[in-house]
Structure 1
Amino acid sequence: MRVVVTGGELVTEQGLVPADLLLADGRIEAWLDRGAAGAAVADERVDAAGLLVFPGFIDPHVHSRDPGHTHKETFHHSTLGALCGGTTTVLEMPNAVPAVTDVATFEDRRAAHAARAWTDFGLWGMALGPANLDQVALLHASGAVAVKFFWGYALDKQTKGLVYNFAAAPPDSLLLPPENGAVLELFGEVARYGGLLAAHCEDRHVLARSAELLGHPITTYDDLLRARPAVAEATSIAVGAQFSLATGCRFHVVHMASAAGAAVVRAARAAGAAVTAETCPQYLTLTDADAARLGPAIKVYPPVRSQADQDALWAGIADGTIGSVGSDHAPHLLEEKLRGFEDAPAGGLGVETLAPLMVDAMVRGRISPARLAEVLSTGTARLYGLWPRKGSLRPGSDADLTLVDPRGSARISNERMHALNPVTTWDGWELRGRVVASLLGGEPAMRDGEPVGERRGRFVAARHGAPVG
C-alpha cells in the first residue's frame, strides 16, 4: 500500500520541516517537496494541513496485567487505549504472572500478545539477581528492550508477582531484593552483553525504617509521603550510578518522581556515568495538593510529590537529564483503589492519556515540539534499541506517525477511555491541542480517538549496541 501524507509540518530533531511523506510497504519511502505529492502514485492520501507530523509515539512503561490479573486490564484493552490516545508502540513490563524471567516465558508472552495487539509492541525481561542471572543475556538476545530490577520490592517466590507490603507477608513466601553485592554482579553481567538495566529506585531499607518511624498505619497522603520519602529514591539512584561507573553498565531510572532523584541523575551524567531517566505525566501534572481531591486514586510508587518536585522534573526534561516519558500504566479495580491510603494498591490508568497530556504541555509552552518528539519517540526508541526502525521520520523507518492539531482541544473523560476499568485521575480535564490521527505501518490506524481498520500490531525486537570491554 502506498500512502501520501500531505500538508503537514514534520517534527524533526532540527525543528519543523514543511514537507510531505510518501509511505510504501509499511516504511517511509521519501520526503516530498510541497507540490510534488500530487504527482506521486498512491492508494490513499492523508490530509495533514495545519497538523504537526510526529514519528509515532512510544510508551515504554506499560503494565497490562496480562496474564495473571486480567480482571484489572488486558493487553487488548491497553494497546487499544494506547492506539486511541496517539501511541503506536508500547513496551510491556515483565511483572505479569508468570513474570518474564526466562526465555521460555518471553517467547510465550510474545506469541500471546501478538494475537491481541492494536499497536506494535516490545517486551521487557525481569532481573531477579542471582536467581536468574543466567537468563538475562538470553533475554537480551531474544529481543528484550531491557531488563527491569524492582529494587524496593519483594516478590512472591512462586509467581514472581510484586508484594507491595512484604512486612506483613510470611517471610518464607518472599523473594527479597538481593543485597548490593549481588546487584553489582547484575550490573556487570548486563554490561558484559551491552544491554540496558532499569530499576524501580526506592531503597527498601529506607522505606522500612521510614514506615517504622511513622508509627501508625497510613491514613493520610502526608503519611504516605513520610513513609516513602524522596531520599529513598535518590539513595537507590546514587548506588546505581556508582555501579554504572564501576561496570560501564547502562542504567535507566524508571518513573523518577523527585527533585532529589533528578539532581542525582544530573550529577551522575556529569561525572560520565551511563545513566538515563524517565518520568511520567502523573509527576508532571499532579502534586500532593491534588490528594485532597483524588484520595487514594492518586497513590502511585514512587508517590506524587510537591510543586517543587514537579518543577524540577520539567527542568530535567528541558536540560536532557530526563530523556524519556512513559505512562507507568498500571490499572486496578475501582474498589481496590478505594481501600484507603494504607491498603490501596499503587498504580492507575495512563497509556491513553500519555500523549494528550504531553501535547497539552507542548501547546502551553512547557516543552517544544522537537523536545516532545525526543522524549515520546526518538530518544525512547534509541534508549531501548528500536531506533531507527521506530522513532524516526527518515526514509527506511517504519511508517508510524502521530498527527497533532496544536490549535485543537480535547477533554479527558472516563466515558471515552478504552481500558477494561475506565477510571482515570484526569477525568474532566480540558486540554489544549489534540491528537487527531495515527498511522501504523503506513496505514491509517486511528482517527479522532477511535481505531480505524483491523488490529495489526506486531512484535518489535530490540537491537542494542556493543558490549562493554
Structure 2
Amino acid sequence: MRLLVKNGSVVTPDGVQEVDVLCENGTIAALLERGFEVDADEVVDVTGQLVFPGFIDPHVHSRDPGLTEKEDFAHSTLGALTGGVTTILEMPNAIPPVDSADMFRQRREHHEQVAWVDFGLWGIAIGDSNLDEIGPMFAEGAAAVKLFWGYALRKDTKQLVYNMGDEPPENLILPPENGGVLRIFKAVAAAGGLLGVHCEDRDILAASEEELGHPIESYDDLLAARPAIAEATSIAVGAQFSKATGCRFHVVHMASEAGADVVRAAQDEGLPVTAETCPQYLSLSAEDYERIGPMMKVYPPIRGVENQESLWEAVNDGTIVSIGSDHAPHTVEEKSQPLATQPAGGVGCETFGPVMLDQMFKGGTTPERFAEVMSTSTAKLYGLYPRKGAILPGSDADLTIVDPEATWTVRNEELVAKQPTSAWNGFELKGMPTTVILRGEVAMKDRKPVGERRGRFVAARHDSE
C-alpha cells in the first residue's frame, strides 16, 4: 500500500517544508520535492493545508472498565480520531487500576479490541504495596507511571477517593506519606521510567477549605479552597525527590504561574523535571466562569488570566514540553449539578486538537512549536520517538492535516462522546483537522471515521533515549 500526501506544507519542530509525503506499508518512505512523480495506490491532495506529525494526547481517562456509564475506550478513541489525534496514552485509574504487569496485559488486550487510534498505557503507583510491580510494568511497555499524590483509594475497588472525609478510614488505602513517595521515585528511577504526578498538596487543600469556613458557593470559593500554592508546593517537593534519586519527574495538568516558576527553576538547575498543561488552562480563565458555569470545573482549577499568560510563556520557552487533554468524562446529570457537588473533569479528547489549533492561529505559539508540544516532544518524553511524533523515513505514517481557514462551532449534541458535555460548547474555533492518516491509511475525513477501527498498542521504550 503506497499513499502520497501532496501539495501540503509539512510542519515539524525544525520548520515548514513544501514537500510531499510518501507512505508505504504503514511507515513514511520518503519526503519528496513538490511535483516529483511517483506511483501511488492513493493520492491525498491537501493543497493549502498544514501537515503535522499525528497529534498525541498523553492524558486520557476513558473510565473503561468500571465506570463505562461515563465513557468507554471505543468512544474516547473515536472522539480523539475526529479531533485529529493519532495516538492516546490511557491513564491507569479505571476499576480495577493498572497496578501490575498482569493487569497491564489484561488492559492492553481489552483495549485492542475497540481502539480507533493507536494507544499506550500508564501504570499506577499506589505505594509500598505495588513497588515491586513498577519495573515489570515498564518492561511491558508502560509509557509512564502515575502518582495521584495525596489521594486515598478504596480498599475494595482501588478507586480514587477525592475527599477522604466521605469514607470510613477502615475502607481506605491511605495515600503514602513523603517517605513512601520517595520510595516510589527510587523505584521508577531504578526502572529508567517516567513518573507523572498529580501535584496538589492535600494538607494545604484541607487547611484552605477549613479557612474558607463555608461550603463552596462561588468560583472564587473554589479557587480559595484549591490555591496555586498547593500545586507549587508538591512540585517543589517532587523536584527535590527527583534531585535525590535521578527519577524523571513529570508534572501533569499544570495549571498555575506558581507551578511553572518552580518547574522552570528545577530545569535551570539541570534536574530531570518536565511539565504538561492542558487546553482548558491555555484557552480559558476564571473570567470565563460567568459564560461557562460549573461545566468548567476541573482539578487543579482554571485560574485567572495571568496564569494563562504565564503558561503560554512556559509553552514557548520550553518549560512545558507536552500538552494533554485530561479527558475525564462524567455523566450529563453529574456535570449538571451545582459547582460544589459537581465532579471535576470533562470531555476533552475530541476538542483537544481544534481548541489548541484555534489558540495557535490566535497567536499563542508558532506552528513549529505547536508540532513540538502536540506531538514530537510528547513522543520523546514517553519513549515513543521516533516511531511516533516524527515525519521522517521509517517513522509510523501518522499525519494530522489541518485546514487553516476551516471553522467549527462546538455543540454538545454533535460530539461523539458517550456523555457529550464540553466546556467549549458554543465556541467557534478556527483551524480544523480535516484528515487523519494513521499508519499510512486515511482514518478520518471531515470528522468522520474512514474504514474500520484499526488502533493498536504501542509499547514505550525509555531505554532508547
Which interval holds the TM-score relative to the shorter structure? over 0.9
Q: How does 1:29-428 map to 2 (within 5 A)?
A: 29-36=29-36, 39-428=37-426
Paired position in structure 1 for 2:28: 28
Give the total of aligned pairs: 465
SS in 2 for 1:311: helix
Give how far 1:466 is off: 6.9
- 1:119-159 CA deviation, whole Å, 9 max, x = no partner? 00000000012110000000000000000000032111221
Provide the rounded CA distance (Å) in 2 between the counterparts of 1:402 and 1:341: 36
**Distance change >3 Å, CA 206–CA 198, structure 1 → 2:** same
Aligned partners of 2:242 and 2:272 also within 8 Å: yes
Paired position in structure 1 for 2:5: 5
Give how far 1:412 is off: 1.4
Paired position in structure 2 for 1:17: 17
Aligned partner letter, 1:16 = V
SS in 1 for 2:424: coil
SS in 1 for 2:407: strand
Aligned partners of 1:194 and 1:466 also within 8 Å: no
TM-score (norm 1): 0.98
SS in 2 for 1:134: helix
Q: Which runs of 4+ in 1 moved over 6 A?
A: none
SS in 1 for 2:142: coil
Aligned partners of 2:335 and 2:421 also within 8 Å: no
Give how far 1:342 is off: 2.0
SS in 2 for 1:465: helix
SS in 2 for 1:59: strand
SS in 2 for 1:379: helix
Aligned partners of 1:437 and 1:446 also within 8 Å: yes
SS in 2 for 1:135: helix
- Identity, in percent, stands at 60
Q: 5+ unaligned residues in a row in structure 2: which ranges?
A: none
Aligned partners of 1:414 and 1:422 also within 8 Å: yes
Give how far 1:294 is off: 2.4
Aligned partner letter, 1:462 = A
Aligned partner letter, 2:137 = L
Aligned partner letter, 1:108 = Q
Aligned partners of 1:413 and 1:428 also within 8 Å: yes
Provide the rounded CA distance (Å) in 2 between the counterparts of 1:295 and 1:162: 25
Provide the rounded CA distance (Å) in 2 between the counterparts of 1:305 and 1:312: 11
Provide the rounded CA distance (Å) in 1 between the counterparts of 2:427 and 2:336: 21
TM-score (norm 2): 0.98
Give how far 1:413 is off: 1.6
Aligned partners of 1:281 and 1:326 also within 8 Å: yes
Provide the rounded CA distance (Å) in 2 between the counterparts of 1:215 and 1:339: 22
